[in-house]
Amino acid sequence: MAEVKLLKTWSSHFALRVVWALKLKGVQFDSIEEDLSNKSPLLLQHNPVYKKIPVLVHNGRAISESLVILEYIDETWKQYPLLPDDPYESARARFWAKFSDDKVFPSIWGVFIKQGKEQEEAFAQVFENFSFLEEELKGKKFFGGEKIGYADLALGWIAERVFELEEIGVKVIEKEKFPLVSAWMQEFLKVPVIKESLPPHEKLVTKMRGIREKYLGAAHPE
Ligand SMILES: N[C@@H](CCC(=O)N[C@@H](CS)C(=O)NCC(=O)O)C(=O)O
């Protein structure tokens, strides 16, 4: 029996992608919760380059970087394919996944931790990024088509975090302006495997609120 371990934290959306992929494929795994303020020897041993979670350890061999892990999972466990067979479609799915991390994440993070003019600039970037996502979703329920695939798992954190941020008073997007993205977020969160693996809502809201206060406090020290 293959041994699969996942080094993660309860709140990391990078780790959540991997949890979702393993669950969609029905792969049993053990979760190892990391304390990032006191990284374990196991994490440092398995990801000496970045020293970050998530790390997947499969039969003693480690893979890091969430998007790389998703590809590994897809190639290793063939049930419920995440990437399409067609090379072009597969490249596009990976393109949107990269877009998530290169563009969408920094823009939403900017809206989250900034204020004033800097926050306005971040809002403009979010708007542009969501416009691209809106366009990509035309004629599709999910980025993967009729069912969720690699790009959905990569971008899925948006669905969850946008609602959480709204709850702490940061309205990331006007949902009416992005009806397809809004519908995608709702459909995505309805998928049982996704829904069941979300971090505890209140706990996450509290954590996010604390992070925002810390950043804003540092920007305006007494
Ligand atoms: N590009 C990485 C990002 C992972 C990442 O940023 N992980 C954070 C937790 S959400 C981490 O381990 N941070 C520890 C550190 O930066 O020291 C991925 O996709 O896996």
Same domain? 102 vs 177: yes
Q: Treating both helix axes as pointing N-terminal to C-terminal, what angle do 87-99 and 66-76 enclose, rounded to 10 degrees?
A: 150
Same domain? 92 vs 182: yes
Same domain? 193 vs 128: yes
- Cα angle 47, 206, 153 (rounded to 5 degrees) comes to 50
Domains in the chain: how many in total? 2
Contacts of 106 (CB under 8 A, 6+ apart): 125
Give the end of a domain, one of 76, 109, 131: 76
27-43 confidence digits (pLDDT tens): 999 999 999 999 999 99
Q: Do 150 and 82 touch, CB atoms closer than 8 A?
A: yes
Does the C-beta of 68 come closer than 6 Å to ligand 1?
A: no
In a domain, 82, yes or no: no
User: Residue 206 above 90 pLDDT?
Assistant: yes
CATH classification at residue 188: 1.20.1050.10
**pLDDT band, very low/low/confident/very high, at 192 (cuts 50, 70, 90):** very high
In a domain, 188, yes or no: yes
pLDDT of 50 reads: 98
86-115 confidence digits (pLDDT tens): 999 999 999 999 999 999 999 999 999 999
**pLDDT band, very low/low/confident/very high, at 194 (cuts 50, 70, 90):** very high
User: Residue 222 above 70 pLDDT?
Assistant: no
Whose C-alpha lies nearest to ligand 1, atom 10?
12
Same domain? 162 vs 184: yes
User: Residue 220 above 90 pLDDT?
Assistant: no
List, as one string, the DSSP characters of the chain. ---EEEEE-TT-HHHHHHHHHHHHTT---EEEE--TTS--HHHHHH-TTT--S-EEEETTEEEESHHHHHHHHHHH--SS-SS-SSHHHHHHHHHHHHHIIIIIHHHHHHHHH--HHHHHHHHHHHHHHHHHHHHHTTT-SBTTBSS--HHHHHHHHHHHHHHHHHHTT-----GGG-HHHHHHHHHHHHSHHHHHTSPPHHHHHHHHHHHHHHHHHHHS--
Same domain? 56 vs 94: no
Does the C-beta of 52 come closer than 6 Å to ligand 1?
A: yes
Same domain? 134 vs 53: no
Same domain? 69 vs 92: no
Does the C-beta of 178 come closer than 6 Å to ligand 1?
A: no
Same domain? 111 vs 175: yes
Give the end of a domain, one of 21, 48, 76: 76
Same domain? 119 vs 196: yes
In a domain, 81, yes or no: no
pLDDT of 217 reads: 87
Give the end of a domain, one of 35, 54, 76: 76
Q: How far apart are CA 152 and CA 202, in angstroms?
A: 24
Mutate to test the pocket of ligand 1, among 10, 14, 18 (most ligand atoms within 8 A of CB): 14
pLDDT of 218 reads: 78
In a domain, 210, yes or no: yes
Atom of ligand 1 nearest to the CA of 54: 20
Q: What percent of the chain has a predicted confidence (pLDDT) above 70?
A: 97
Atom of ligand 1 nearest to the CA of 53: 12
Same domain? 56 vs 128: no
Same domain? 56 vs 133: no
User: Residue 83 above 70 pLDDT?
Assistant: yes
Centre of ligand 1 from the C-alpha of residue 110, in Å: 17
Same domain? 126 vs 25: no
CATH classification at residue 36: 3.40.30.10
pLDDT of 1 reads: 58
Q: For residue 132, give its domain range.
A: 87-219
pLDDT of 221 reads: 62
Does the C-beta of 70 come closer than 6 Å to ligand 1?
A: no
Does the C-beta of 53 come closer than 6 Å to ligand 1?
A: yes
